[in-house]
Amino acid sequence: MKIAVTGAYGQLGGELCRQLGDGAVPLDIDTLDLTDGPGIAKRFRDLKPQAVINCAAYTQVDQAEKEPGVCRAVNVTAVEHLARACRQLDCPLVQISTDYVFHGEADRRAPYRESDSPSPQSVYAQTKLAGERSAAQNAKHLIVRTCGLYARPADERASHFVKTMLRLGSTRSELRIVADQHCTPSYVPHVARAVLFLAGVTSRGPAPWGVYHVVNDGATTWFDFAREIFRQADMELSLQPITTVEYGAPAARPPYSVLDTTKYHALGGPPMPDWKAALAEYIQQWKRPRHGGP
Ligand SMILES: NC(=O)c1ccc[n+]([C@@H]2O[C@H](COP(=O)([O-])OP(=O)(O)OC[C@H]3O[C@@H](n4cnc5c(N)ncnc54)[C@H](OP(=O)(O)O)[C@@H]3O)[C@@H](O)[C@H]2O)c1
């Protein structure tokens, strides 16, 4: 087995490489810059991977508003290069995407299905949707949309909401958290397991080509997620709910971007635990002293 994982130093790429073990060919910017089209074609011709899982991305949602060209180069043009290389090798391409492709009207409460029309609001989200379309240029493609990723505590490079809350929780007595964005924060080990199932690594073969939603079960807001993090971590803080407008981030976020995972579960993939149970797995590991817990 030889699965090329791009963005291998990132949260999801790193976890996929960990789960794949010797079957992974980890690639990141120091070994393969995805903005180098000819470099990609040559590398994959030599490598002849059985599948490519693209976890590389420009993921700084707010910074993307200031440098759309850089964001586009990684999230769109690089995926075009990857799709072309995969097409030439007749190799499946798994492209990781995001819940942010949906607009998510504030009063919506119906989880988005794969067949719903995307309507991205930010530069990051627009480039991720364009990247999905680039990936689909290769007939053998799987597009996996996920949300609010947090890697296991042992991943020291990763930066994510849970880690930020636990850091702030040990230095602050009060925090203001956005309470009007509804989504499903998802634990990277669970998402990685589902991706390997869809890709056919841990199943009898790849899933039918197309788009899949993969997130932990249930839905919450960043405010309620933070409250649950501090409850499980035995930290006492005063939390103030604020609106997205009050928070004032440069990039627009969907007020509602819960994803319907029926299509994934219909294939019999590994379970995606409820978001509180997923968080409990993280916190349990974090509480072990070497992972920075109390
Ligand atoms: N994080 C989330 O909450 C979230 C939510 C929904 C969907 N997603 C999607 O899930 C996927 C994985 O996200 P993640 O959080 O694991 O990302 P991440 O931790 O930011 O990792 C992305 C990796 O891609 C690398 N990269 C950037 N530009 C590159 C280039 N030109 N060539 C090669 N590698 C390059 C990055 O390197 P540098 O660090 O050096 O830039 C980094 O190692 C992405 O497609 C993302 O859009 C993420």
Kindly state whether residue 193 falls inside one of the protein's structural domains: yes
Kindly state whether residue 163 falls inside one of the protein's structural domains: no
Looking at residue 294, its pLDDT comes to 63
Active-site entry in 100, 124, 150, 212: 124
Tokens standing for residue 121 = 């609001």
DSSP, collapsed to helix, strand or coil, labels residue 42 as: helix
Active site residue 124: yes
Tokens standing for residue 8 = 């291998």
Q: Is 149 in the pocket of ligand 1 (CB under 6 A)?
A: yes
Range of the domain at 131: 3-151+186-216+259-272
Q: For 147, which DSSP code?
A: -
Residue 105 sits in a domain whose CATH number is 3.40.50.720
- Using alpha carbons, select from 260, 268, 243 the residue that is nearest to residue 110: 260
Strands, sheet with 141-146, edge to edge from the N-terminal-most edge strand: 24-27, 3-6, 51-54, 93-98, 141-146, 210-213
Q: Is 150 in the pocket of ligand 1 (CB under 6 A)?
A: no
Q: How many domains does the chain have?
A: 1
> How far, in Å, is the centroid of ligand 1 from the Cα of 253?
18
Looking at residue 6, its pLDDT comes to 97
> Cα–Cα–Cα angle for 201, 207, 212, nearest 5°?
110
Task: Report the atom number in ligand 1 closest to the C-alpha of 14.
Answer: 16
Q: 177: part of which helix (H) or strand (E)?
A: strand 174-178
Kindly state whether residue 234 falls inside one of the protein's structural domains: no
- The CA distances from residue 235 to 148, 202, 205, 238, 244, in Å, are 22, 38, 45, 10, 25
Kindly state whether residue 224 falls inside one of the protein's structural domains: no
Kindly state whether residue 174 falls inside one of the protein's structural domains: no
Looking at residue 104, its pLDDT comes to 87
Looking at residue 11, its pLDDT comes to 98
Looking at residue 170, its pLDDT comes to 92
Task: Report the atom number in ligand 1 closest to the C-alpha of 131.
Answer: 45
- Using alpha carbons, select from 146, 136, 9 the residue that is nearest to residue 80: 136
- Going from the first residue of the chain to its last (294 residues), give the mean pLDDT of each consecutive group of 10, the final group possibly shorter: 96 98 96 93 95 98 98 98 96 98 92 97 98 98 98 96 96 96 98 98 96 98 98 96 96 97 98 98 90 64
